Amino acid sequence: MEKDFDMWNHKKKTVHSVAEPIFYREREIWWVSLGVNVGFEEDGKNANFTRPVLVLKKFSKNVFVGIPLSTTEKEGKYYCKFPFLNGESTALLSQIRLFDTRRMADKMGRLEDSVFQTIRKAVKNLL
């Protein structure tokens, strides 16, 4: 599959120019502009290059550690399945990273605390 780095570079300039801070909390899931990335790094989808991301740890009003999500069922120690929005999602634990809040597009919802704690435990076990 050919990656469209040029289209993402154009979109990234728009994402970078976002000025207003976004109010967000841990446990929330947001559509985040991940862009087009190198190799096996998780890419965003659609025209805005977005993907759902779980806010794992808020560091400031500008940055957080997040975990990209997928609706594709995956198994193994690098994945954690959980219920969300009348279906199942998978946290891609191997893709955990720091995000700038300017990448955040739309809030999808918030996880139950028990589900969030299960995912946090899976991350801790992986590290």
Mean pLDDT computed over 42-67: 86
- How many percent of the chain have pLDDT more than 70? 78
| Model confidence pLDDT, tens digit, residues 46-55 | 667 688 999 9
Written as six digits, the tokens of 100 are 């700038």
pTM of the model: 0.83
Burial 15-29 (b: 16+ CB within 10 A, else e): beeeeeeeeeebbbb
Q: What is the set of domains in the chain, with CATH numbers? A: 5-126 (2.30.30.110)
Amino acid symbol at 49: F
| Model confidence pLDDT, tens digit, residues 89-111 | 999 999 899 998 988 989 999 99
**Please, which residues bridge with residue 110 across strands?**
28
